[in-house]
Structure 1
């Protein structure tokens, strides 16, 4: 984290900011900046200037781009000698006609020159005051225009008038405003107009309009994923790779403003934490969202709320039905909202569809609505949390934690420490000392867990190593348990860093130290290390070694009466079944699956065993597809639907990982989608899966833009992995914690 990161302006870029600060913060839209400066440079010696219009919806960075152009014109010697930026206010409410336009230009020119030529600036302000009281004169407009042109001549530089929201000026002012302005701009080379607009406006695209072919139009598209990552780095001081940044781009629609809002909220949060806390982020910015809604006229707001409520791109008829209004009135109001860049239009004619231009508004509205509607958004966010949280999907899925790091609960005060003293026969002061040691080790492990969950893996490893160094020689079982846990989680952090060989060495150290101790508490950590060691060998493409490791766990601890050890036995058998499918031994896989079902079905009331049984059923579906028994395979798939819990991130991760395998082994994407719908799973999480499967089947699907983008990414992943043969290397094997 960069502690000296400058303050970011979300709404008024350039206000009370130095040119150097603006230049440092301008990390995206560099291509558009180059285009603007290229046109301005070409105007320096031109007898008739090319004017510029920067177009894009709210929040796309128009104001920031103009502020950055200002900074360049002030600091670039080659440009500053010839061009002077004169920046109007973002909302030019005082302009009612062209005379007001020139009077406003004179006022801002005076402000612009105040620092470098105060006497001249004061003279311009006096002229402005004199003209302002002559507003009833018949030649008022001509006098104001002449004052601006005369000032430009005296300065000896061309004036670059920067005017925002040109669409509002065009719509609200006199009908001859555009033609008069065009005449001056074409006749007077001292003036260059650099304007912005949220949308196309009247007179711009029509051949008989006043602004037709007057402007070089530069469109601001949504930021790409890599641009979002660059802006995120500047705004938060943190690195995010493209896969991590993708869900943030989807939720913000690639809007620089919304991305900066999220980035400034995201300090010290992992992607998982940030997505899970999106509701809090929206709550923190309620005034921003509410203020935007209240700024819209009442009748227009009713239509806009219907757009937000529908969420997906919708037709005027659908919006009218939701708003309970006449469709013709709604169409007219939608056109006005589109002109102001509040709604986004796709298609043309009768096929036009409308959606909110800034995506987070739909999410804000849904979260503020009834519980069922908020749940739909929360399920989308949960899906994205799991789907996008891995850093390198094509190599390894990030660890899916079952729980936070859990150590022996020895926090109930001094009486619990006494029990440790009894084991050694020590006096009460020795018991106090042991309690303090256990508490210190426990605190270090909790710190390691926090560091792990925010992605600070190296620091997490250091905290684990402190436990090992300080308490590794103890013969007290409770401390040995904590040392073993430290080894386990040191290995987890190493695997998270992609250091699979190091992780294996760490887990080998547990096995060597505690493998033959005969204490159940330590056997649990040894078994955990062995299971994870097998996972590492699988990632290293050593399936035979992985199989022998998991088989050893299953055989050694088969008869243990420890539930923790039995869960690891079930896990090992489940992994063995997956590897057998990978190696083409589907019959052997089915035999292992039957063993799991027979041995652990009686314990399905325990979530840990229920989860393994559910995973096994999904693996069974894969095995049956491999054996060309689609009827039985689909029946097994139906059973997994019955047991699926959309609130369980582990289930989500494993389900997503198995989809490519099912498709690769012969499952029909359309049939899988039909089963999911028939089982009543066509909302929230599974709705995204169903859309992806239908896309694979070639169907055209309508849904909210956020959902469609996530579903498209899922579709690409499924098709990529199912076609390349890498379908079993995804998330079938998870390193495991407590």
Structure 2
């Protein structure tokens, strides 16, 4: 069994800031495609002319810092590059860089720390000099000295700047224009930056950095990447129980990947949980995981203003996206206040705008696992059930045995024997909905059968969808009987699959944790339509 000391050690070592160069390179098993793409762009460029600059976007914990460090280390290890190209690695947070001249000062500090051949004594004299009337003149003098030192040594630099969005926000428009001009004209400096927030201002035509950076987006890990990461950690830390879980209980792992959005930092926490408890379930794992992220998410909520907390609470408790009008009804705040606060929340990556075909757009919690945490730790008693039902559905759906023996291949005899429901199953399977739809409704909303054999209910609902009975299914989910047993929450992915098949506008309210599952449900329904035509 893994001890608490082991857990702390694993988490601390995997943090890129705490890893040695060798440890980081050895543990770098995901983001390989983007790594090779960016390094190819670096290696092929001779920097005889100004080069393309890159911005890596991705939510917190997606591996941006690790990727930047991995690129920097590869440059240091490459004899064709390290003789003339110097990677300048900034800290993950650089609170002191609030002006452009501070950027040049910091670059000089980092260069001098690692490369004694640079002489920035004159820069120190400039810093203390009283000859400069303003900061702009001082900034230009610093940059000229930096450029002169690069030319004297025959070196060029590539800046790896994390949290670039925060740094860019602090620059004035004049400084941003100045930096853009330098990067456009200087062949000696290149930037590969990362940002945890979507820099919408960069997409405005009037912004200095409009269409300036080539943007690479980091999305959550897919199934294979998650498996590779967990197995790599298992091998590195000699945790055979984790490898056993990954190989023998794929549904448990995949359900949690979808729920958490494939965030690398969360997958590492999941590794620690697997190492300590190999006899669990996806929901039990989830509860342990939530305990680990509570300090982070609580801090995130505490940083919000009272009005922002009220808005986030309304959206999070609903789980699915809400309109401004719906948020106003729940918070009793004025719509104009909500709209203003939503802009700030969106800018800081807390909420995401979901565009509709009308002017009334929806808003949803951007990090879906944060939403899960809020429901489980701050929600009503029923909210835990809603989460549990989804996790259990995903664990069953994602199990490889379930995939190898897809439900459309099941024989009716595989359903519970001697049940009163079997005639209804036969009727639906063999032909079409029973003529007496009231009888079918009674079967499909039988809570005892639904609790014991949810996969069979799911199978036949998908089969009904395959037979083109979209409206009947929609009515079933929204019927008094369906509402009374929370059928929408119990079988949430199937409900949204029905909405998507109908092109219903409420489909847009769905969180991204459901997207892949819904596509799989619709693909299965399409295949069943062929099989049982």
Structure 2 partner of 1:250: 258
User: In structure 2, what is the Cα distance between the partners aligned to 1:626 and 1:206?
Assistant: 55
How far did 1:87 drift?
A: 1.5
Superimposed CA distance per residue, residues 640-666 of structure 1 (whole angstroms, 9 cap, x where no aligned partner): 245323883x411232234455566x5
How far did 1:327 drift?
A: 2.4
Structure 2 partner of 1:670: 471
- Asked if 1:221 is matched to 2:231, the reply is no
Structure 1 partner of 2:81: 79
Q: How does 1:641-660 map to 2 (within 5 A)?
A: 641-645=444-448, 648=451, 650-660=452-462
Structure 1 partner of 2:178: 180
> Superposition RMSD on alpha carbons, in Å?
3.7
What secondary structure does 1:91 align onto?
coil
Aligned residues: 509
User: In structure 1, what is the Cα distance between the partners aligned to 2:432 and 2:80?
Assistant: 75
Superimposed CA distance per residue, residues 514-563 of structure 1 (whole angstroms, 9 cap, x where no aligned partner): xxxxxxxxxxxxxxxxxxxxxxxx99xxx9xxxxxxxxxxxxxxxxxxxx
CA contact (8 A) 1:10 1:257 kept: no
What secondary structure does 2:88 align onto?
strand
Superimposed CA distance per residue, residues 151-198 of structure 1 (whole angstroms, 9 cap, x where no aligned partner): 433443211112222222232222211011122223322211222223
User: Closer, same or farther in 2 for the Cα pair 1:56/1:625, shift >3 Å?
Assistant: closer
- Asked if 1:715 is matched to 2:522, the reply is yes
Of the three residues 430, 435, 442, the one matched with 1:639 is 442
Of the three residues 365, 369, 374, the one matched with 1:356 is 365
How far did 1:13 drift?
A: 4.5
User: In structure 1, what is the Cα distance between the partners aligned to 2:51 and 2:25?
Assistant: 26
Structure 2 partner of 1:322: 330
- Asked if 1:152 is matched to 2:160, the reply is no
User: In structure 2, what is the Cα distance between the partners aligned to 1:656 and 1:288?
Assistant: 36
Structure 2 partner of 1:109: 111
What secondary structure does 2:193 align onto?
strand
How far did 1:630 drift?
A: 4.3
CA contact (8 A) 2:252 2:281 kept: no
What secondary structure does 1:266 align onto?
helix
CA contact (8 A) 2:429 2:460 kept: no
Structure 1 partner of 2:187: 189
Of the three residues 387, 397, 409, the one matched with 1:387 is 397
Structure 2 partner of 1:20: 22
CA contact (8 A) 2:52 2:214 kept: yes
Determine which structure has greater relative contact order: mean sequence separation of CA pairs < 8 Å that are 6+ residues apart, divided by chain length.
2
How far did 1:360 drift?
A: 0.9
User: In structure 1, what is the Cα distance between the partners aligned to 2:332 and 2:352?
Assistant: 21
How far did 1:7 drift?
A: 6.3
User: In structure 1, what is the Cα distance between the partners aligned to 2:192 and 2:468?
Assistant: 57
Structure 1 partner of 2:100: 98
User: Does 384-393 or 59-68 show the bigger shift?
Assistant: 384-393
What secondary structure does 1:167 align onto?
helix
User: In structure 1, what is the Cα distance between the partners aligned to 2:431 and 2:394?
Assistant: 33
Unmatched 5+ residue regions in structure 1? Answer: 398-537, 544-573, 579-610, 728-738
CA contact (8 A) 1:60 1:255 kept: yes
TM-score by length of 1: 0.61
How far did 1:313 drift?
A: 2.7
User: Closer, same or farther in 2 for the Cα pair 1:111/1:692, shift >3 Å?
Assistant: same
Structure 1 partner of 2:494: 689
User: In structure 2, what is the Cα distance between the partners aligned to 1:357 and 1:214?
Assistant: 26
User: In structure 1, what is the Cα distance between the partners aligned to 2:173 and 2:226?
Assistant: 41
User: Closer, same or farther in 2 for the Cα pair 1:141/1:71, shift >3 Å?
Assistant: same
CA contact (8 A) 2:324 2:360 kept: no
User: In structure 1, what is the Cα distance between the partners aligned to 2:524 and 2:353?
Assistant: 29
Of the three residues 316, 327, 330, the one matched with 1:308 is 316
What secondary structure does 1:176 align onto?
helix
Structure 2 partner of 1:282: 290
- Asked if 1:376 is matched to 2:386, the reply is yes
What secondary structure does 1:277 align onto?
helix
CA contact (8 A) 2:465 2:473 kept: no
User: Closer, same or farther in 2 for the Cα pair 1:47/1:330, shift >3 Å?
Assistant: same
TM-score by length of 2: 0.82
